[in-house]
Structure 1
Amino acid sequence: MTAHDLEPAPTSAAPPAASPADRRWWVLAVLGLAQLVVVLDATVMNIALPTAQRDLGFTDAQRPWVLTAYTLAFGSLLLLSGRLADRLGRRRLFMTGLIGFAAASAVGGASTGFTMLVASRAVQGGFAALLAPAALSLLTLTFPDGPERARAFGVFGAVGVSGSTLGLVLGGALTEYLSWRWTMYINVVIAIPALIGALSIIARDTRTAVRPRLDLAGTLTVCAGLFTLVYGFSNVADHGWSAPSTLALLAAGVVLLAAFVAVETRVPAPLLPLRVLADRNRAGGLLGMFVGIGALLGVILFGAYYVQGTMHYSAVKTGLAFLPQPFALLVTAAVIGPRLNRRVSPKVTVPVGMLLGAVGVALFTRVGVHGDYATDVLPTLVVLGVGLGLIFATSTSIATHGLAREDTGVGSALVSTSQQIGGSIGVAVLNTIATTAGVHYFRHHTPGALTLARATVHGYTTAFWWASGFFLLGAVITAVLLRPGVPEHLTASAPSADDETTPKAAAPAH
């Protein structure tokens, strides 16, 4: 390990590698479509799963694998894919991921049995791992500085976070009005215009004199570590925290990741250079997303359970009921956030977003067995959406800024990894808390249908209180780690294609 490996990544942004300035927003549209494809599949199958189970005839014990296969492949391959983007080219990997994801989705939609469906979901997750860091890396190079960067990352972040909610809407609508198979086929419909856009708008990869070598030891330890860690947290839902299988998987994941860090300090061309993590703003942004996404997914999960199970909304109505949250998030991330970021330090913006998230989720604890949407659910969705809009757009921008050009792929993969692992941990922890609280309530009250309903809601509200606490923890972490002052890349004017000091971008591919 050299001193260079422990130094913060260079703060000067790499020159844009994507299309000229007048095409930047079209590039954002293409990357946003790709991001939508990836995040939709994290939730779009949830509502369709019971119908798929009846159609294909698999058991309840097999059912979780339809969801787990995707997250395991996605989470465990992200860092490797980020380095492959740096080595093989971001546009090339982006298009490969898009084509492979669409093909796997088509096969999954045509599944004739459980094995075929699960295999296609695993392949989807693998290609999603190629697609996600390549898309974020291209966005980082397309919008290196200025207010436009903040707005672009706001839109991109809003698409990413809102996609989970939109997946519930699409999953319910497609299953109810067409077929569960269309929850897979819809990816092909979205991927085709994204692929056409990538071919015509995004510039070809520029060749570099030196391509980073692939760190085999680091690749094996981090892929195995992330796999066992995500699998361990997925195992909690069925077997609990104290089960030997859960403890063994989590312990193995920690040991393998510790081995990965040790390897990275010794190899000449590490998969994840430690200098990428040495910047306080980047570390704060990554930890902010880790905590925020974990709390968010737990709230969305139990909020959907409450609205559908306790308030008796249909699948489609449940999805529509949650739309105010992504709408508030999009407005905040794309309009309000960029203006604040030009005047207010992320050290203020991100913790304030966390505090708003804590308040929004705390409002959800007022629900009862006879809930009212306008007073019990809607306020939470709006306040939570505003808070998340401040958190994710700013955190993504500062977590990816200042990366050396050869590190943009793996740096972008870190963003997706923090979200993936944070979501897995958040859902596992909050699910365990809700289940334990509900069982405890039922055992200490007179048995009956009303007691069961109250126990279920008590489990949800307990999980909401903990999620609110996670947001408060995120506020403290980001307030401590993030540096004061407004970063120059959020205030400087974006480079113009006509600026003689700006390196010429490669000619767009046709």
Structure 2
Amino acid sequence: MSQNERRDSRWFALVVLCAGMLMIILDGTIVNVALPVIQADLGFSQSGLAWVVNAYLIPFGGLLLLAGRTGDLVGRKRMFLGGIAVFTAASLLCGLATTQGLLIAARFVQGVGGAMAAAVILGMIVTMFPGRGEQARAIGVFSFVAAAGGSIGLLAGGVLTEAISWHWIFFVNVPIGVLTTLLAVRRVPGEQGIGLKEGADVLGALLVTTGLMLGVYTIVKAADYGWGSAHTLLVGAASVALLAGFVTRQATSANPLLPLRILRSRNVAGANLIQVLLVAGMFGMFFLGALYLEKVLHYDPLQIGLGFLPVAVGIGGLSLGVSARVNARFGERNVLVAALVLVTAGLVLFTRAPVDAGYLADVFPAVTLLGIGAGLGFPAMMTLAMSDATRDDSGVASGLVNTTQQVGGALGLAVLATVATAHTNGLLAEGIGRTEAVTSGFHLAFGIAAGLVALGVVLAVTVLRQPKVAQEEELVPAAV
């Protein structure tokens, strides 16, 4: 096979991997538009409805590190194929669900499959594209899929829910999953893992997954029990203890799930922490923004999806090619700082959207800033997060990137939704009208989201360093 043919083969493999990632990421938000319909159909309470989203995000975020490490051990292609199979089967169960329990359980299994597949994708991309320039372009494509998938999900969810039913937001994954599997088997290069003898830290995975689940549960239930109640404090303390146990385990284990040496890099640690803050703000905005458009402005599901279309357009227009050139010209660190400022500005504009908002005057400027900021920010952030990963650790580094993304989404959603609900209920008790109270609750949540991303700006300025420019490496054919 000639060098050009190998290059073309790698780019086709990238498309296949990104198709799998799009399906997984899209599923994290496609359900948001359908939430009011699902709530009415299956009888969810307002607080229980958040578990339709969190039941997916929690196992996803909690298992990514274990999946990434296992992919390093047994081979990343095997882990990717297994994850797509589990995700596709669980999607079918979600579509068939007629009860709250079945839907939440199937969403949990979806999260497991999503973690298995998503954890290794970025590591496979970094391995396939070792040269600085081509790696930047490949990560730009991946970043587009990872970032745009959320906003595309809102549009697709609106179309499917409006045209057919909410069940089809899950059924649509089945043919996509089958096609992705068939293409991946034939066209995605495989490589030998480093061997099971190296071991995988199952105890560490249990500690971090259980700790995260209890943490999200604590935040979600704080609206019912009170932030200072014994229930909230005890369960929250248990969550902190489990996560502290996870860190201790990683420091003492012979085969840690997350080798702490990875976090010695300022860029790896800083970029992942910034991603938690950025995704917390943006994902909470998608969830609550969809509810704002539906409950306050009375948009139908299709209108909600179209309302967020500028986010997808902004991300798509910048992630594919433009971001790589901008990063090369100004440096990933500087680009990320500017992007975070734009996202913060967009969230601040959302805090000013009134009860009688006009789309062009009040919503469009905010979502446009969010799209531009995300389109520039995610590729730069992912490049920084993977900048110091070695070949043997690329799987776990990829898993860490995806973990902080999902943890940020789950915790951000839990915090912002809980704060918005509590503030709204307080205003209703004071006799404020429902529409005004609901809008005020959303404003408070959007303001907190803006504060989280603004904190990311501070960290980017003080912690991150521009990676050294690496020489382009010769194209090395991947082992099959």
TM-score normalised by length of structure 1: 0.86
Aligned to 1:227: 213
Give the root-mean-square deviation of aligned CA atoms. 2.4
Contact preservation (8 Å) 1:358, 1:472 = yes
Aligned to 1:11: none
Describe the SS at the equivalent of 1:203.
coil
Q: Deviations over 1:1-21 (max 9, x none)?
A: xxxxxxxxxxxxxxxxxx932
* Equivalent residue for 1:261, pick from 235, 247, 252: 247
Describe the SS at the equivalent of 1:360.
helix
Aligned to 2:159: 173
Aligned length: 476
* Equivalent residue for 1:467, pick from 410, 434, 449: 449
Aligned to 1:16: none
Aligned to 1:14: none
- 1:72 and 1:472 map into 2 onto residues whose CA distance is 25
Contact preservation (8 Å) 1:293, 1:423 = yes
Aligned to 1:3: none
Stretches of structure 2 that go unaligned for 5 or more consecutive residues are: none
Instruction: After TM superposition, give the deviation of residue 372 of structure 1 in Å.
Output: 0.8
Instruction: After TM superposition, give the deviation of residue 361 of structure 1 in Å.
Output: 1.5
Instruction: Summarize the Cα distance change of 1:378–1:61 in structure 2 as closer, same or farther, 3 Å threshold.
Output: closer
Question: Structure 1 counterpart of 2:341, which letter?
Answer: L
Contact preservation (8 Å) 1:357, 1:471 = yes
Instruction: After TM superposition, give the deviation of residue 266 of structure 1 in Å.
Output: 1.8
Aligned to 2:287: 301
1:359 is the counterpart of 2:345:
yes
Instruction: After TM superposition, give the deviation of residue 42 of structure 1 in Å.
Output: 1.7
Question: Structure 1 counterpart of 2:258, which letter?
Answer: L
Instruction: Summarize the Cα distance change of 1:221–1:310 in structure 2 as closer, same or farther, 3 Å threshold.
Output: closer
1:66 is the counterpart of 2:39:
no
Identity of aligned residues (%): 37
Instruction: After TM superposition, give the deviation of residue 82 of structure 1 in Å.
Output: 1.3
Instruction: Summarize the Cα distance change of 1:53–1:361 in structure 2 as closer, same or farther, 3 Å threshold.
Output: closer
Q: Deviations over 1:29-50 (max 9, x none)?
A: 1121111111222222334345
Describe the SS at the equivalent of 1:41.
helix
Contact preservation (8 Å) 1:289, 1:391 = no
Question: Structure 1 counterpart of 2:449, which letter?
Answer: A
- 1:305 and 1:57 map into 2 onto residues whose CA distance is 17
* Equivalent residue for 2:434, pick from 445, 448, 452: 452
Describe the SS at the equivalent of 2:256.
coil
- 2:20 and 2:235 map into 1 onto residues whose CA distance is 32
Instruction: After TM superposition, give the deviation of residue 107 of structure 1 in Å.
Output: 2.4
Instruction: Summarize the Cα distance change of 1:278–1:476 in structure 2 as closer, same or farther, 3 Å threshold.
Output: same
**Larger mean Cα displacement after TM superposition, 187-196 or 38-47:** 38-47
Aligned to 1:506: 479
Aligned to 2:320: 334
Instruction: Summarize the Cα distance change of 1:378–1:487 in structure 2 as closer, same or farther, 3 Å threshold.
Output: farther
Structure 2 counterparts to residues 487-498 of structure 1, below 5 A: 487-489=468-470, 492-493=471-472, 495-497=473-475
1:374 is the counterpart of 2:374:
no
1:285 is the counterpart of 2:237:
no
TM-score normalised by length of structure 2: 0.91
Instruction: After TM superposition, give the deviation of residue 86 of structure 1 in Å.
Output: 0.8
* Equivalent residue for 1:316, pick from 290, 302, 306: 302
Instruction: Summarize the Cα distance change of 1:416–1:208 in structure 2 as closer, same or farther, 3 Å threshold.
Output: closer
| Higher share in helix | 2
- 1:217 and 1:305 map into 2 onto residues whose CA distance is 38
**Larger mean Cα displacement after TM superposition, 226-235 or 434-443:** 434-443
1:403 is the counterpart of 2:389:
yes
Aligned to 2:108: 122
Describe the SS at the equivalent of 2:355.
coil
Describe the SS at the equivalent of 2:320.
helix
Instruction: Summarize the Cα distance change of 1:476–1:63 in structure 2 as closer, same or farther, 3 Å threshold.
Output: closer
Deviation beyond 6 Å, 4+ runs, structure 1: 57-61
- 1:486 and 1:258 map into 2 onto residues whose CA distance is 31
Aligned to 2:185: 199
- 2:271 and 2:364 map into 1 onto residues whose CA distance is 28
Aligned to 2:335: 349
Contact preservation (8 Å) 2:30, 2:156 = yes
Q: Deviations over 1:364-384 (max 9, x none)?
A: 233212111111111111111
- 2:376 and 2:47 map into 1 onto residues whose CA distance is 40
- 1:243 and 1:181 map into 2 onto residues whose CA distance is 38
Instruction: Summarize the Cα distance change of 1:125–1:478 in structure 2 as closer, same or farther, 3 Å threshold.
Output: same
Question: Structure 1 counterpart of 2:313, which letter?
Answer: F
- 1:343 and 1:59 map into 2 onto residues whose CA distance is 50
Q: Deviations over 1:255-275 (max 9, x none)?
A: 112112212222222221111
Question: Structure 1 counterpart of 2:468, which letter?
Answer: P
Stretches of structure 1 that go unaligned for 5 or more consecutive residues are: 1-18
